[in-house]
């Protein structure tokens, strides 16, 4: 009986070691591809929120850190000057995170032009409820932000939007608030950076 227990324990140990080695091999083979795909998605989101941009120059992290220390709520992860085909600055884009989503963090990109007007918003990462909060990724919903120049954007539930209001996601008020927190923070950073 004791020999059988030892034999079974050794068999399980060997299976566990082989499984761990296989998992680490798969991770080492795929981690670079996953990182490349995530970087491409982020870059694509920057071009989507700043349509006039032909290239981007990274903004120094110390500028971002200083902004984040003075503001609560959402945080700017990184930001870039958007430059047109001739190399002139045409706006700023920022990657922003709100930690207050229903399903956790919501990461998005927001673009602002030289006049302080939002040129686009794209959600790049979230874990919101499918069919409800996950609708924050829909282009139709995020298109509401384009052209807004109000310093703080709020939401309504009756469809009567304006320069300072967007229509909330039906059944997902927490997600709506988290996205607005991130958009307002990102736009404030971009405007501060361009001196608006």
Q: Which residue has the tokens 């469809």?
A: 159
pLDDT on residue 172: 93
For residue 168, give the DSSP letter.
P
Q: Are 172 and 136 in contact (CB under 8 A)?
A: yes
Backbone torsions φ then ψ of 162, nearest 5 degrees:
-160, -165
Q: Give the start-to-end residue ranges of the domains of the chain.
A: 48-194
Question: pLDDT digit string (tens) for 3-48?
Answer: 888 888 988 999 999 999 999 988 888 888 888 888 888 888 999 9
Question: pLDDT digit string (tens) for 105-163?
Answer: 999 999 999 999 999 999 999 999 998 999 999 999 999 999 999 999 999 988 788 88
The answer to whether the pTM exceeds 0.95 is no
Per this entry, what is the length of the chain?
196
pLDDT on residue 1: 72
Angle between helices 61-70 and 173-194 (to 10 degrees): 120
């Amino acid at each position: 009986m004791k020999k059988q227990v030892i034999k079974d324990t050794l068999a399980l140990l060997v299976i566990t070691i082989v499984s761990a080695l296989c998992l680490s091999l798969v991770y080492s083979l795929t981690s670079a591809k996953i990182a490349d795909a995530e970087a491409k998605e982020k870059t694509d989101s920057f071009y989507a929120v700043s349509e006039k941009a032909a290239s981007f120059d990274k903004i120094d992290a110390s500028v971002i850190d200083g902004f984040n220390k003075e503001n609560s709520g959402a945080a700017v992860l990184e930001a870039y000057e958007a430059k047109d085909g001739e190399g002139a600055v045409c706006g700023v884009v920022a990657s922003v995170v709100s930690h207050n989503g229903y399903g956790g963090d919501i990461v998005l990109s927001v673009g602002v032009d030289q006049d302080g007007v939002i040129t686009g918003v794209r959600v790049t990462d979230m874990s919101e409820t499918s069919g409800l909060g996950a609708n924050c990724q829909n282009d139709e919903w995020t298109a509401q932000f384009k052209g807004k120049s109000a310093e703080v954007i709020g939401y309504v539930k009756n469809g009567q939007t304006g320069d300072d209001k967007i229509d909330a996601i039906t059944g997902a008020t927490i997600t709506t608030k988290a996205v607005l927190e991130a958009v307002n923070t990102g736009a404030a950073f971009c405007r501060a950076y361009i001196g608006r």
